[in-house]
Amino acid sequence: MKTALTFIIVFGVIVIIHEFGHFFFAKRAGILVREFAIGMGPKIYGHQGKDGTTYTLRLLPIGGYVRMAGMGEDETELAPGMPISLVQNDEGKITKINTSKKVQLPNGIPMELVEFDLEDQLTISGYVNGDESHLETYQVLHDATIIEQDGTEVRIAPRDVQFQSAKLWERMLTNFAGPMNNFILAIILFIVFTFIQGGTAVLDTNGIGRVVENGAAAQAGLKENDKILQVDGEKINSWEELTTIITKNPEKKLNFEIQRGQETFEKTVVPEAEKEGDQTVGKLGIYAPMDDSFSAIITGGFTMTLDNSLAIFKALGSLIVHPDINKLGGPVAMFQMSSQAAEQGVTTVILLMAVLSINLGIFNLLPIPALDGGKLVLNIIEGVRGKPLSQEKEGILTLIGFGLLMVLMVLVTWNDIQRFFF
């Protein structure tokens, strides 16, 4: 239960923050966000806000999504011959269109739909009360709503509030905002992580921070604030130099030259042997000094975000040069990592969430149709050409990209299942 809850929180937060980026900048650009959903699958609860967006809670607590008017994933199923009902205002204009069998409108006008234009002309036509001898046409209000077949009520999407009606730079910012929010979330989480751990490690020093009780350093008499001047005659100026020597010498006697205050003396230290993967490495049981200043904590959050981003780009490069599905992980791998993080405590969960947030941000910026990066590429092509690709071509590219992603997701998930359960 703890693992499942951790997985839901970690995955849910990073996806919802991602989608909120799209939502916020779409609103700023005048694009109608028809639905902001928390979770996936069947709707549990829905409420339409005054801003025109319907906020829904859905059954499966994994992530969420936004439906922007005019985007490929925004479809309302209306078809000739469909039985619907209409609600009029006092002026005779349509304020609500009901396509759902789950919802009954007491004052609704029953109609068999013949044709409609809810983008430009804002009209809807059909046979009222089964009278096929007369075709009735009604004017639809700009802010009218439509009740979809699952009972979700959303605004219709006239042309002027659709995604393509916004300026190019506004659409580019809306597409980029999701990954951008993931990077911002990672920075905030890394700042919190840095604060919890007491600051950032100072690595350009030979000073000792906390000493682990009963560790090799403690047994040799080393103390916090000591400075390690030399190890076996080799000068030590940084933690990288110290770590390199210690790691290579498990269970070997090393001669340390130590400075404590104004006193300088020598100590024999034997690093403990510890397994790391297939290797045995030396450990002293000491930590680097910590800088707990406000500026260090803030800077640490940015630095950790940058370091992790570079590591992910390096891993992507390795994946391209040497393709291997074992280098990828899907929801099953995320669940496994959530399990390990839950066992290690809140700090590890925060660290995991930050790393996964960066992963999601970078992954979505890949120039693949159906991802935010692919949409940005189409925006750039539009800027160069002076006009967008046709909706048919863009739809085909998006469909191809989506298909490839689904195939990859199935392969990765199946590979994860085999790795972790067989």
Cβ within 8 Å of residue 252, ≥6 positions away = 270, 271, 282
| CA distance between the termini of the chain | 22
Q: What is residue 414's predicted lDDT score, i.e. its pLDDT?
A: 60
Name the more confident of 317 and 45.
45
Nearest by Cα to 147 from 104, 110, 109, 116: 104
Cβ within 8 Å of residue 118, ≥6 positions away = 78, 124, 140, 146, 156, 157, 158
pLDDT mean over 260-288: 89
Cβ within 8 Å of residue 209, ≥6 positions away = 201, 202, 224, 286, 287, 288, 289, 290
pLDDT mean over 205-232: 91
Q: What is residue 308's predicted lDDT score, i.e. its pLDDT?
A: 85
In 3-state terms the chain splits into helix, strand, coil percentages (rounded to 5) of 45, 25, 30
Chain segment 82-118, per-residue pLDDT in tens: 999 999 999 999 999 999 988 889 889 999 999 999 9
Q: Examine the pLDDT at 334 and tell me if it is beyond 70.
A: no
pLDDT mean over 306-319: 80
pLDDT mean over 283-298: 90
pLDDT mean over 199-224: 90
Q: Examine the pLDDT at 319 and tell me if it is beyond 90.
A: no
Number of H-type helices and E-type strands within the chain: 9, 16
Nearest by Cα to 289 from 225, 355, 219: 225
Positions marked active-site? 19
Q: Examine the pLDDT at 339 and tell me if it is beyond 70.
A: no
d(CA 291, CA 176): 34
Chain segment 117-170, per-residue pLDDT in tens: 999 999 999 999 888 889 999 999 999 999 998 889 999 999 999 999 999 999
Return the residue matching tokens 């390795």: 318
Q: What is residue 415's predicted lDDT score, i.e. its pLDDT?
A: 60
Q: Examine the pLDDT at 406 and tell me if it is beyond 80.
A: no
Selected from 2.30.42.10, 3.30.70.870, 2.30.130.10, 3.40.50.10790, the CATH number assigned to the domain covering 203-288 reads: 2.30.42.10
Nearest by Cα to 319 from 310, 332, 328: 328
Angle at 66 between CA 70 and CA 123, to 5 degrees: 35
d(CA 25, CA 173): 7
| Whole-prediction pTM | 0.80
Is residue 276 within 8 Å of residue 246, measured between CB atoms?
Answer: no
Sequence ranges of the domains in the chain: 83-161, 203-288, 294-421
Instruction: Return the percentage of the chain with pLDDT > 70, whole number.
Output: 89
Q: Examine the pLDDT at 400 and tell me if it is beyond 90.
A: no
pLDDT band at 399 (very low <50, low <70, confident <90, very high): confident
Q: Examine the pLDDT at 330 and tell me if it is beyond 60.
A: no
Q: Examine the pLDDT at 416 and tell me if it is beyond 60.
A: no
d(CA 269, CA 238): 18
Give the H/E segment covering residue 60: strand 54-68
pLDDT band at 34 (very low <50, low <70, confident <90, very high): very high
pLDDT mean over 2-19: 85
> Which segment of 198-202, 294-298, 399-403 scores lowest on mean pLDDT?
399-403
Q: What is residue 150's predicted lDDT score, i.e. its pLDDT?
A: 86
DSSP helix/strand/coil, 398: helix
Q: What is residue 418's predicted lDDT score, i.e. its pLDDT?
A: 61
Chain segment 351-392, per-residue pLDDT in tens: 888 988 998 899 889 888 878 998 999 999 999 988 877 777
Q: How many CB atoms lie within 10 A of CB 350?
A: 18
Chain segment 11-25, per-residue pLDDT in tens: 889 999 999 999 999
Name the more confident of 416 and 278.
278
> Which segment of 130-134, 186-190, 191-195, 399-403 scores lowest on mean pLDDT?
399-403
